[in-house]
Amino acid sequence: MRKKFGIRQILLLVLILICLIVPTFVKTPYMLGIFVTTFYIGCGTLAWSVLGSLTGEISLGHAGFMGLGAYIGALLMNNKHITPWVGMLVAFVVVGLLAACLLAPCFVLSGPYFTLVTIAFAEAFRNLFTNWDYAGKGQGILVPLKEQGMYSMRWISKVPYYYIALIMLIVFYVILRKIDRSKLGYALKTIREDEETANAVGINPFKYKFIATFISAGLIAVVGVFYANYIGYINPDIMKQSQALNYVMPAIIGGIGSITGPLLGAIILTPLSEFLSATLSHIAGGLNLVVYAVIVIAVILFRPTGIMGWFDHSKFKKKMNDRFDAIDAKLFGKRG
Amino acid sequence: MAELLEIKNLTKNFHGLKAVSDVSFTVEKGSITGMIGSNGAGKTTVFNMISGVLTPTSGSIIYQGKDITGTKACKYTGMGIARTFQIMKPLRNMTVLDNVVSGAIFGRKQLNAVQAREYAAEILEFTGLYDKKDLYPKDMGTPYKKRLEVARALATDPELLLLDEVMAGLNPTETDEAVELFQKINEQGTTILLIEHIMRAVASLCQKVVVMHHGEKITEGTPEQVMNDPYVIEIYLGKEED
């Protein structure tokens, strides 16, 4: 356990500081928008990771849970004038519980069968909302920009959203790190590796899968509330299974099995897809998607464990650790 | 010696196939008891019933005077029963230390994550795996993987340790080391019930041996008694032609 302050912590602080001052340099809404998208996709990926990476249950229904959260936030604001901040809390609890209760009977299913069930639930929700008058049917609902400010979480400028998304990302990451190193994390990882072993050391798989689903779906519902207010318009299409891939792909590319991997994947993939669509799509329609797909396929083919999976076992990591330790020793003298 | 575990008329049918039929034996507190028998004799099935993976068709399992038949598998470490698997099941994407931490957290000691890491390090020291704590199971040879299975089970702080062929595939030197380890575990007060094929290990470890054949217990006794039993010799070596 490294609790001491060293070069790694300094680098992390510098990184956070850079993130904090980005809006003073980046002025165009388009560029800032890419940052915001990266951050909330990162949050979504981290939320997905609780179930996908830690527990090893691949869900393709998370867009559905995110959409539920978005609807809860938007409807509360529009019809009851309840601030989205409270909406986030409500979405976390309601969607978390709903998802956990719905998926609980399906925990006995493993692998692809569980994944299919998650798709089915998301589709069911999408159909429900497409036909539900109160939720605006297929046209969706607008979150009108009547008043700007903290209470309504609505601004014309993208800068406040930038900071909210950044803070949300940091909070999500810290939560996941905490889970990863806690009793819950060990339970989930043991279940992921082998359910029979989990039973044999005294872990009740059902109980912990329930908790994991609750946290995972709850967190992504919080992202949904943010999304509704950031975009200002939601419709049932955001619950599509293809939308769920936005959160699954970064995790797979970054490396399922760690916490940093999914985050790294989001930071790489979202700007990459934006960059490709900006540079390639006017040459030939859809070319950007082809290149994007080729990159993703290449990573999956040659680095099936993802970027972090490769990094964790590489000599490069050891070298970097040694380098950092050397700098630590020089800067702070020998300790521990 | 008091009885820690009592198996009474245990029977298990798989759709008409009698895997285990009417097996009874006892395990004394503080002893090492062995179970031998040819492949398919039902040894692992008995183990699976004692550790709650399978529910017996009939019969009962009495542990510390309490009937625990049919208890859920995840409740056993809390009662002080831990097991290893015949087919090694290391937690592949977790380090050796984390493998053992899992056992330590959810075992009888009710440790938190930080205490569990310390306790797991102790267990690794005890089982001779400490210098491999940061490796992944796939980077270690079979003897160490088998040790890891034992270490994880041991980290749950068991009263009764069930070992399912943990010495299979080891060479004689490694077997001796394993025997030494189990003696050390036993000296610390843990009762052991083990399935084993290597007679040398069984003979040097066990005070009592239960012999199974075709799902039935055919005899029990000290290793010498059992190995000189004509029926056991017949099963193992075949019948002499008249």
- B3, part of any domain: yes
| Whole-number Cα distances in Å, A271 to A149, A266, A268, A331 | 28, 8, 6, 35
Q: What is the pLDDT of residues A74-112, one digit of tens each?
A: 999 989 889 999 999 999 999 999 999 999 999 988 888
Nearest CB to B77 within list A190, A196, A202: A202
- A283, part of any domain: yes
Lookup: tokens for B111: 């440790």
Distance CA B77, CA A196 (A): 13
Q: Note which residues in 175-234 of chain B have CB less than 8 A from chain A.
A: none
Task: Please report, in angstroms and rounded to a whole number, the separation of the first and last CA atoms in chain A.
Answer: 11
- B233, part of any domain: yes
- A1, part of any domain: no
Q: How many CB atoms lie within 10 A of CB A332?
A: 12
Instruction: Please give the residue range of the domain that contains residue A226.
Output: 7-332
- The answer to whether B83 contacts chain A (CB < 8 Å) is yes
A chain contacts of residue B112, beta-carbon cutoff 8 Å? 183
- A135, part of any domain: yes
| Whole-number Cα distances in Å, A178 to A14, A184, A186 | 22, 9, 11
Q: How many CB atoms lie within 10 A of CB B233?
A: 14
* SS3 label, residue B15: coil
- A25, part of any domain: yes
- A11, part of any domain: yes
Residue A216 pLDDT: 96
CATH number at residue A122: 1.10.3470
Of the two residues A133 and B236, the one the predictor is more confident about is A133
Is residue A336 predicted with pLDDT exceeding 70?
A: no
Of the two residues A8 and B158, the one the predictor is more confident about is B158
- Residue A66: which pLDDT band, with cuts at 50, 70 and 90? very high
- Residue A1: which pLDDT band, with cuts at 50, 70 and 90? very low
Average pLDDT in the A149-163 region? 88
- B161, part of any domain: no
Q: What is the pLDDT of residues A12-52, one digit of tens each?
A: 889 889 988 888 888 888 889 999 999 999 999 999 999 98
**Pure H helices in A232-305:** 241-254, 260-280, 287-302
What average pLDDT values come out for chain B (242 residues) when binned by 10 residues? 85 88 91 88 89 90 89 88 87 89 87 89 91 88 89 92 88 90 92 88 90 89 88 78 62
- A27, part of any domain: yes
- A2, part of any domain: no
* Nearest residue to B27 via CA among B162, B151, B156, B154: B162
Asked whether the beta carbons of A299 and A306 are under 8 A apart, the reply is yes
* SS3 label, residue B128: coil
In degrees, rounded to 5, the angle at the alpha carbon of residue A28 between the alpha carbons of residues A25 and A33 is 100
Q: Which residues contact B78 (CB under 8 A, 6 or more apart)?
A: A202, B107, B108
Q: How many residues does chain B have?
A: 242
- Interface predicted TM-score (ipTM): 0.86
- B104, part of any domain: no
- Residue A335: which pLDDT band, with cuts at 50, 70 and 90? low
Q: What is the pLDDT of residues A177-190, one digit of tens each?
A: 999 989 999 999 99
* Nearest residue to B66 via CA among B11, B141, B5: B5
Specify the number of domains making up chain A: 1
Of the two residues A207 and A136, the one the predictor is more confident about is A207
Residue B155 pLDDT: 92
Residue A334 pLDDT: 56
CATH number at residue B223: 3.40.50.300
Distance CA A238, CA A74 (A): 14
- The answer to whether A259 contacts chain B (CB < 8 Å) is no
B chain contacts of residue A198, beta-carbon cutoff 8 Å? 74, 102
Asked whether the beta carbons of A46 and A259 are under 8 A apart, the reply is yes
Residue A46 pLDDT: 94
Q: What is the dihedral of CA A73, A76, A78, A84, to 10 degrees?
A: -50
- B35, part of any domain: yes
CA of B104: which chain A residue's CA is closest? A201
Residue A136 pLDDT: 85
Is residue A333 predicted with pLDDT exceeding 70?
A: no
- The answer to whether A205 contacts chain B (CB < 8 Å) is yes
Asked whether the beta carbons of A48 and A218 are under 8 A apart, the reply is no
Instruction: Please give the residue range of the domain that contains residue B210.
Output: 1-70+190-242
Residue B242 pLDDT: 60
- A305, part of any domain: yes
- B123, part of any domain: no
Burial class (CB in 10 A: 0-12, 13-18, 19+), B28: middle
In degrees, rounded to 5, the angle at the alpha carbon of residue A202 between the alpha carbons of residues A200 and A207 is 115
Nearest CB to A200 within list B51, B93, B94: B51
